[in-house]
Amino acid sequence: MTNRTTAAWAAETDNARIWFESLRDRICTAFEAIEREAGSDAAFEYTPWRRDSEVPGEDGGGGVRGVMKGQVFEKVGVNVSTVGGAFAPDFAKTIHGAGEDNTSFTATGISLVAHMANPHVPAVHMNTRFLTTSKAWFGGGADLNPPLPYEEDTAEFHAAFKAACDRHGSDYYDRFKAWADEYFYIPHRKVHRGVGGIFYDHLECDSAGAFEQNFAFTRDVGEAFLEVFPRIVRRRMGLGFTPEEKRQQLEWRGRYAEFNLVYDRGTLFGLKTGGNVDAILMSLPPQAEWN
């Protein structure tokens, strides 16, 4: 572990968890408000779950899965989980700060994926997280996935996250945008899964000051999402669409599913650490098409 104590990391994990839960509540309220504007009474349904510990009698943690199926949001999931335990030895080798001699971990985070009813409204992903192994760090990001891209929406989405990045590091946006372009790519299709965003990982917290600095950035990433995405939804949700545009959306969803099942780190992390399968796979679209 770093020069921080186990007790300090436990307290800071709890601080991160509390904020992730508050962000979830505000996002879900904002999304439900959009449904009301569309004349829908759809609301999130929340399902708590617990994780079995590798050690009998120890608490493995758990989380809450929130899902809403509405008129605007065909399916949106917002999950918060806080778990701890031990990685399998082979998987530990792939995790920052873990390995054969240190397989223990804690993790807390929020994960969101929204699949929209109208193909003019982009699908979106956002997550932020805090992990401890022998090191402690923040990671996260967001990317926009429009089946029918609009330059205005893409520019506004990127501008929101650039503003968040610029408050913390002059090179953050360029670095994390490039990382997103590299990460959110489907090699077997030779296409990006959307129009990008930001992706960051391993922002290490080897002191209380580093924790506060990286936590502040992570909070700004969440706030940027909450500010920009509902605005884009409202701009597009009333547009008419053709059967061909709907078909294009379903085909694009198939590519999204391929990425999440084959390449996504979060999916692999959840499955390898005994997470709730329904929560892990809530990112999959309600309908998709392969031609």
Each of the 291 residues of the chain gets a pLDDT tens digit; together they read: 444 556 667 889 999 999 999 999 999 999 999 999 999 999 999 999 998 877 777 788 999 999 999 999 999 999 999 998 888 888 878 888 888 778 888 999 999 999 999 999 999 999 999 999 989 999 999 999 999 999 999 999 999 999 999 999 999 999 999 999 999 999 999 999 999 999 999 999 988 899 999 999 999 999 999 999 999 999 999 999 999 999 999 999 999 999 999 999 889 888 888 888 988 898 999 999 998
**What are the tokens at 274?**
């005994």
DSSP 8-state class, residue 272:
H
Angle, alpha carbons 218-81-125 (nearest 5°): 55
Q: Based on C-alpha coordinates, what's the Rg of the chain?
A: 19
Amino acid at residue number 9: W
Helices 6-37 and 208-236 cross at an angle (nearest 10°) of 10
Amino acid at residue number 226: L
Q: What does pTM read for this prediction? A: 0.93
**What are the tokens at 93?**
């080798």
Angle, alpha carbons 229-77-259 (nearest 5°): 85
Does the annotation mark 125 as catalytic? yes
Question: What pLDDT score was predicted for residue 272?
Answer: 82
Name the catalytic one among 96, 115, 120, 125: 125
Amino acid at residue number 180: A
Residue among 86, 81, 83, 158 at smallest CA distance from 122: 158
Listed by start position, the domains of the chain span 6-283
Rounded CA-CA distance 105/265 in Å is 16
- Across-strand partners of 64? 48, 80
Right CATH number for 6-283 from 3.30.565.10, 3.40.1500.10, 3.40.50.300, 3.40.50.720? 3.40.1500.10
Question: What pLDDT score was predicted for residue 6?
Answer: 61
Rounded CA-CA distance 51/262 in Å is 23
Residue among 132, 286, 275, 279 at smallest CA distance from 202: 132
Rounded CA-CA distance 70/39 in Å is 10
Task: Work out the number of other CB atoms within 10 angstroms of the CB of residue 233.
Answer: 23
**What are the tokens at 111?**
């994960």
